[in-house]
Structure 1
């Protein structure tokens, strides 16, 4: 497992430092090595669980250079010296209620089925007493036209909406996105102005109904994409989530989901299966980015084969 600490993580009120909580499942006798390293801050490790000797917590303020810590827990025994000095500060600090959710703004042009998939995913319960919305919330839906059906979905959920007067006006869009941590283009057909892309570099993603770099670019959206796929004779299509840059559909790919093209497919039947893949893939990527703390550089998640 790998993680990256950012300002979107847990803020400990005791000393105004940031932290991440990880759950590790293993078997008795298994070795677990935890390695923390940073050139920017002093690393600190806190471990709690039934495998700790005597049921006690384990803490270690690193003794290595450059904020480095390497510790090992084996057979239920802690193999490093426990630091008692800060136990009172850390105990109870990593509570889900203290996590500030990532604020997501969604840009739309159409009916909003991808928006709805995200809304549903952020409301579901992955575990007892917690919800995905504790990690992330859609805080605004922005459309380039007043007739976009996605706006009705947002209204039903009580989410603030904005209809842009001029989608090409960078200042207007930047002002609308002012408090967003992550921007998701979910069926948004306008080219995002370069200053907005620069402001949200590696924080703005798009979902496209084909396996980029094929069948992308200006004018390639909706039914046109599926018609082009069938006309090409391709046997596989799918969905792509990628980072947004200054050109249509050209940013680094984050993940793809492949969909087989049937011999009797029409643009409509292919579109229906690809749309289902879009929903699943977009949820997976958003959750993956949020759990990684919105990394400051592009990441590539594992592709998914034959989802439809």
Structure 2
């Protein structure tokens, strides 16, 4: 299938590892996309530094002083940059109604555990992996889903199982999941770009 370049915008609160992997995949010809903008709510986020180093437009838009103003600013910045798909890469803020409406069905997040059982408010990072281990299940999963107004609630787009070994700790599981997340996100976006995988409202 012919690839149609995706015009990507990224939201990151920290390292933005998945976003960085996407930018590297674009440069390497492995992802049919353009990195249009990276926004962080934290001025000291490492993601802002690597984005600037790689020539990706980067902006700091704080959310705490005025969440409503930040919501409008994020939506406007993404539209001005020509973004048609927003990727959350470790963005630890709930998106506001303006951004959600402007990019309805066009915001993707990756979750480090099976949804819906191991999702919801407060379920991120090590908390997810500890909950999975405590539940005694045989496998975890990485889930890519659309973002709506509730935490970890939007329709699932893609899932990759992560087997749990006997004696696994939350730390060991977290390390395996973190290593798998960026390439899985890149692979999923490339499937979207080629038309192999359709977003629900773009079928």
TM-score range (shorter-chain normalised) is 0.7 to 0.9
How do 1:211-250 and structure 2 match up within 5 A? 211-250=114-153
Runs of 4+ in 1 over 3 A off after TM superposition: 293-300
- Asked if 1:275 corresponds to 2:172, the answer is no
> Rg: which structure is higher?
1
Distance change >3 Å, CA 234–CA 281, structure 1 → 2: same
| 1:152-301 map, 5 Å | 152-166=49-63, 168-169=67-68, 170-178=71-79, 179-292=82-195, 297-298=200-201
> Helix, strand or coil for the counterpart of 1:110?
coil
Please give the TM-score of this superposition, normalised by the length of structure 2: 0.88
Q: Which residue of 1 is the match for residue 37 of structure 2?
A: 140
Structure holding more helix per residue: 2
Higher relative contact order (CA 8 A, sep 6+): 2
- For each residue in 1:151-183, what CA deviation from the matched residue of structure 2 results, as whole angstroms up to 9, or x when unmatched? 222122011111112263321111111121110
- The C-alpha deviation readout for 1:36-56, integer Å capped at 9, x for no partner, is xxxxxxxxxxxxxxxxxxxxx
SS of aligned partner of 2:44: coil
* 8 Å Cα contact 1:109-1:148 kept in structure 2: yes
Aligned length: 197
- The Cα shift of 1:212 comes to 1.0
Structure 2: 5+ residue stretches without partners: none
> TM-score, with normalisation over the residues of structure 1?
0.59
State the Cα distance separating 1:276 from its structure 2 match: 2.2
C-alpha separation in 1, matches of 2:195 and 2:96 = 27
CA distance in 2, matches of 1:117, 1:225: 23
The Cα RMSD (Å) is 2.3
